[in-house]
Amino acid sequence: MYLCGATVQGVPHIGHVRSGIAFDVLRRWLAHPDRDGGGLDVLFVRNVTDIDDKILSKAADHDRPWWEWAATHEREFAAAYDALGVLPPSAEPRATGFVTQMVTYMQRLIERGHAYEADGNVYFDVRSLPEYGSLSGHKLDDVHQGESAGTGKRDPRDFTLWKRAKPGEPSWPTPWGDGRPGWHLECSAMATSLLGAEFDIHCGGMDLIFPHHENEIAQSHGAGDGFAQYWLHNGWVTMSGEKMSKSLGNVVSIPAMLKKVRPVELRYYLGSAHYRSMLEYSDGALHEAAAGYRRVESFVHRVVDRVGDVEIGQVPSEFAAALDDDLGVPAALAVVHNAVREGNTALEAGDGEKARAIAGQVRAMLGILGTDPLDPHWNTVGADDEAATAALDVLIGAELERRAAARAAKDWAVADEVRDRLAAAGVTVTDTPDGAQWALEQKDI
């Protein structure tokens, strides 16, 4: 599987991680032993686009080296994927690490008559490939690549494989002069270098169907490769019906979301819709999903408390059938919730062993969705956080008492000193009718 990963130009919002979660579920399911035909050995590649116009311009705006800007945001994405329990890919190639393969790729395209050099740029000749447009259904007459005109293009519909170097911009040597890669070329080169000339599944957001994936197919078929056999595209996270996006300003950052719900609840929420559907964000929908998850989680915990350890069991056949039908997560979740109802009834009737068997199935199903409540990924983080928060509460509570006593004695110097010391440590204090409340200042990114 190949998933078009992030262009690491900024911090991720919840829309950016939706594809990572949706296709993590597909990967887990394909690899799962309960699948009809058994678990497959899945190679999963998710790239990082670490050279791009937006990276260069944003780094320049902030007076930072472009590579530092890219590395910083690559880490932000990695942290977000990790926080949400997305399994690390088998490989995570960076575009800048595959320039040699891109040059070879362009040479093959030029030799086969599908690309040409003009003024230090290399372009793909779309008219040379009769099937151009087959993925998106675009007719050649209607094609707009959405890129700058480019010097020496034979046809305005041709797209850029390689950009001639501009002064001050990073570049790599090629037989056609120094330059840097175009985005579409990167993915064809990385996918085929790692997964071979033909591989099974290519995924990405629905905006990538055209031009990105159309152009990946054109390049790969032009080079004589079979390329991807199946294409899967996920829908948007929307707000008031509009795509959540930085340019519209309607974004919710992942740290902001994690102030409202736990990471496992956010993962459950973002993964609960069908991957092709839009997922309309609202606080209400988020909290409803979190409450739904807690019902499932508390069933599993109650079984552990009352009956003992719950081993991961097998997934029910209806759950398997739902996922086999175009990754039908909503139908699969209905199976989970039915199982939880049945399990609760068994528990109330005192049938601990039946409840334990059902809880084992629930763990198996949630494991595929990446949200098994007993998975150490969630528990280690939670337990540490809880213990640290409880310890902080004692220490800060003592400081707040000292401040309250100082205020009562009108000793403003001491009261201010306490407040300043807490502020310097990143603790904000709010006075409420129930007394002073504290919170850790969150970095809004």
Q: Which stretch binds Zn ion (CB under 5 A): 2-10, 68-76, 171-179, 347-355?
A: 2-10
Identify the helix (H) or strand (E) that includes residue 110: helix 99-111
The continuous run of DSSP H or E covering 92 comes out as: none
* Position 236 contacts ligand ATP (CB under 6 A): yes
Question: Which residue's CB is nearer to ligand ATP, number 221 or number 243?
Answer: 243
Among 1, 56, 115, 187, binds Zn ion (CB under 5 A): 187
Q: Out of ligand ATP, Zn ion, none, which partner does residue 244 contact, by CB within 5 to 8 A per kind? A: ligand ATP
Question: Per rule CB under 6 A, is residue 245 in the interface with ligand ATP?
Answer: yes
Interacting partner of 187 out of Zn ion, ligand ATP, none (Cβ under 5 to 8 A depending on kind):
Zn ion
| Displacement of CA 239 from its chain's centroid (Å) | 18
- When asked if residue 240 is in the footprint of ligand ATP (CB under 6 A), the reply is no
**1 near Zn ion, rule: CB under 5 A:** no
**Residue 435, strand partner residues:** 432
| Binding-site residue set for ATP | 246
Report the nearest approach of Zn ion to the CB of residue 362 (Å).
Answer: 36
DSSP string, 303-317: HHHHH---------H
| Position 208 contacts ligand ATP (CB under 6 A) | yes
Helices (H) and strands (E) in the chain, counts: 14, 13
Q: Can residue 207 be called a binding residue for ligand ATP (CB under 6 A)? A: yes
Candidates 4-12, 51-59, 348-356, 425-433; binding stretch for Zn ion (CB under 5 A): 4-12
In 3D space, the residue among 295, 223, 293 whose CA is nearest the CA of residue 264 turns out to be 293
Residue 3 as a binder of Zn ion (CB under 5 A): the answer is no
- What DSSP line would sit under 111-153, residue for residue? HTTSEEEETTEEEE-GGG-TTTTTTT---GGG----S---TT-
Q: Does the protein bind ligand ATP through residue 169 (CB under 6 A)?
A: no
Among ligand ATP, Zn ion, none, the one that 351 touches (CB under a kind-dependent 5 to 8 A) is none
At 13, give phi and psi (nearest 5°).
-105, 180
Q: Which stretch binds ligand ATP (CB under 6 A): 100-108, 130-138, 160-168, 199-207?
A: 199-207
Comparing CB distances to ligand ATP, the nearer of 4 and 103 is: 4
Out of 108, 138, 221, 243, point to the residue binding ligand ATP (CB under 6 A). Answer: 243
# of chain residues touching Zn ion (CB under 5 A): 2
Q: Collapse the DSSP code of 249 into the 3-class scheme (helix H, G, I; strand E, B; otherwise coil) and give the result.
A: coil
Among ligand ATP, Zn ion, none, partner that 371 touches (CB below 5 to 8 angstroms by kind): none
Nearer to Zn ion, 20 or 343 (CB): 20
Residues 163, 94: Cα–Cα separation, whole Å: 18
Q: How far is the CB of 219 from Zn ion (least distance, A)?
A: 11
Q: How far is the CB of 258 from ligand ATP (least distance, A)?
A: 18
CA angle 47, 48, 51 (to 5 degrees): 135
Q: What gap in Å lies between CA 55 and CA 73, rounded to an integer?
A: 10
Strands 242-243 vs 279-280: parallel, antiparallel or unpaired? unpaired
d(CA 102, CA 220): 12
- Give whichever of 237 and 374 is closer to ligand ATP, judged by the CB atom: 237
Beta strands in 39-134 (DSSP E): 45-46, 115-118, 121-124
Q: Which stretch binds Zn ion (CB under 5 A): 80-88, 180-188, 318-326, 392-400?
A: 180-188
**Exposed, middle or buried, 258 (CB in 10 Å: 0-12/13-18/19+)?**
middle
In whole angstroms, give the CA distance from residue 187 to residue 220: 10
Closest contact distance (angstroms) between CB of 54 and ligand ATP is: 7
- At residue 199, the 3 state secondary structure works out as strand
Between 15 and 292, whose beta carbon lies closer to Zn ion? 15
The footprint of ligand ATP (CB under 6 A) covers 7, 13, 15-16, 18-19, 204-205, 207-208, 236-237, 243-247
Q: Which residues bind Zn ion (CB under 5 A)?
A: 4, 187
